[in-house]
């Protein structure tokens, strides 16, 4: 049992270091190098050009463009995967570091607020846009990461049970 606890402690430290590095990289990717998009003049003009509060409108636009051939498929894939993948690591790192994140509800709630905060910061700093579909795709990416983490934990627990005859 002591061996399992020491492994968990090492994994938690790795998760903390990886999480901090990941957040720094994600913040840099999302905000660095983007010029302010205030060329529209007023705040209201900027808001109308860079916000989408209608769920699935951007996603359905990309999917219909994909099936109709209206848009280059690489642009569609880059935009959809570009919103699925950034929060995927959080699904693995958060439960490694914070025990409460092992519960799906708390994980999902935390991720929702983190993602909305990133979107809002992009909007208010005029370095990006606020798109509810980005929030949805980011959440799906994070959930996929969490499900993979959960599966790895179950496999590990099963292997431990087979080797020792005891559950974790």
Q: Of the candidates 141, 120, 132, which has an alpha carbon nearest to the alpha carbon of residue 55?
A: 132
pLDDT single digits (tens) 138-149 = 999 999 999 999
**How would residue 156 be classed by pLDDT, with cut points 50, 70 and 90?**
confident
Name the residue among 64, 73, 82, 96 with its Cα closest to residue 133.
82
| Interatomic CA distance for residues 63 and 18, integer angstroms | 34
Geometric angle at alpha carbon 35, from 32 and 39, rounded to 5° = 160
Q: Which residue has the higher pLDDT, 128 or 2?
A: 128
pLDDT at 25: 92
Given a contact cutoff of 8 angstroms between Cβ atoms, the answer to whether 101 and 157 are in contact is no
pLDDT score, position 141? 97
Alpha-carbon span 65 to 149, nearest angstrom: 33
2-18 pLDDT per residue, tens: 666 777 788 889 999 99
Residue 66 pLDDT greater than 70, yes or no:
yes
SS3 label, residue 131: strand
> Which pLDDT belongs to residue 39?
65
pTM, 2 dp: 0.85
pLDDT at site 34: 62
- Contacts of 21 by beta carbon, 8 Å cutoff, 6+ apart: none
Contact 137, 165 (CB under 8 A): no
């Amino acid at each position: 049992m002591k061996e399992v606890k020491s492994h968990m402690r090492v994994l938690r430290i790795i998760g903390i270091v990886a999480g901090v590095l990941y957040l720094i990289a994600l913040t840099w990717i999302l905000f660095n190098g983007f010029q302010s998009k205030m060329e529209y003049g007023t705040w209201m003009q900027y808001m109308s050009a860079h916000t989408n509060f209608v769920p699935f409108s951007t996603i359905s636009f990309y999917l219909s463009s994909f099936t109709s051939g209206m848009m280059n498929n690489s642009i569609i894939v880059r935009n959809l995967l570009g919103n699925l993948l950034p929060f995927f690591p959080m699904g693995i790192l958060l439960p490694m570091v914070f025990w409460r994140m092992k519960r799906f509800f708390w994980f999902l709630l935390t991720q929702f607020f983190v993602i909305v905060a990133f979107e809002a910061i992009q909007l208010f700093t005029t370095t990006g846009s606020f798109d509810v579909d980005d929030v949805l795709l980011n959440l799906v990416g994070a959930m996929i990461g969490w499900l993979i983490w959960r599966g790895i934990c179950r496999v590990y627990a099963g292997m431990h049970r087979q080797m020792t005859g005891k559950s974790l």
